[in-house]
Amino acid sequence: MSRYQPRPLQFARFSPQEMQARARALREHLQRRRTVRHFSSEPIPDGVLEDAIACAASAPSGANQQPWTFVVVRDPDTKAKLRHAAEEEERQSYGGRMSKEWLHELEPLGTTWEKPHITEAPALIIPFEQVWGRTEDGQRVKHYYAAESIGIAVGFLLAALHHAGLASLTHTPSPMKFLRELLGRPENERPFVLIPVGLPAPGAMVPDISRKPLDEVMILR
Ligand code: IYR
């Protein structure tokens, strides 16, 4: 029997006016998302992270292999260990491993080697890319477009968190290998980014930066 077994598509159609209104509403909503670096320790309501991760896991992926694992950390000891390890790496990165040009590009963001958000945020989500997989009987399976797939899934995740009213930060400690070790993930998984999630601290500040105008990023031919 063929492994291609199609079934009818479920698809919601909107009128042109509804479509325009929905597109504009999401544009305005997503444009209000800001990366936040100062978190309150207020807890996240039950089920919200589960729903956001389910949104991420609904993303399209190469050959539908869904090459991802999302680790959620709420345990204070684990957060403290992750912060310590991240700051060890970042101290070296900011202290000389990163080029002058790179540090210059980061200046407007006000980042430093210190990563208090890792312990202050009530939760961390660490998405892992499954660089390859295994069949049920343990055979290695090649994954196709795993990097693109996890990138798309993390885009869905950030949008879902924002939609739920949570702030997030895409933190990229470098190198990130310590995440696999401290979180006990297998050798086929590569940490993609570390995402502190929660509510912003009262009075949280963000850099005064803007996005490129549409006519710079969208080309009509
Ligand atoms: N990994 C460092 C440096 C850093 C790099 C980029 I590119 C940023 O957009 C922000 C920070 C850090 O997480 O601080």
pTM across the whole model:
0.97
Mutate to test the pocket of ligand 1, among 89, 172, 192, 209 (most ligand atoms within 8 A of CB): 172
CA-proximal residue: ligand 1, atom 9 (nearest): 106
Q: Count of alpha carbons within 13 Å of 130, Cβ hemisphere only?
A: 20
Q: How far does the centroid of ligand 1 lie from the alpha carbon of residue 220, in Å?
A: 32
Q: How far does the centroid of ligand 1 lie from the alpha carbon of residue 172, in Å?
A: 6
Evaluate whether 144 touches 62 at the Cβ level (below 8 Å): yes
Cis before 175 (ω within 30): yes
Evaluate whether 125 touches 157 at the Cβ level (below 8 Å): yes
Whether 172 is in the pocket of ligand 1, judged by its Cβ within 6 Å, is yes
Please report the pLDDT score of residue 69 as a whole number.
98
Give 199-218 pLDDT, tens digit per residue: 999 999 999 999 999 999 99
Give 34-93 pLDDT, tens digit per residue: 999 999 999 999 999 999 999 999 999 999 999 999 999 999 999 999 999 999 999 999
Which residues 6+ apart lie within 8 Å of 152 measured at CB?
A: 59, 60, 61
Mutate to test the pocket of ligand 1, among 36, 100, 106 (most ligand atoms within 8 A of CB): 106
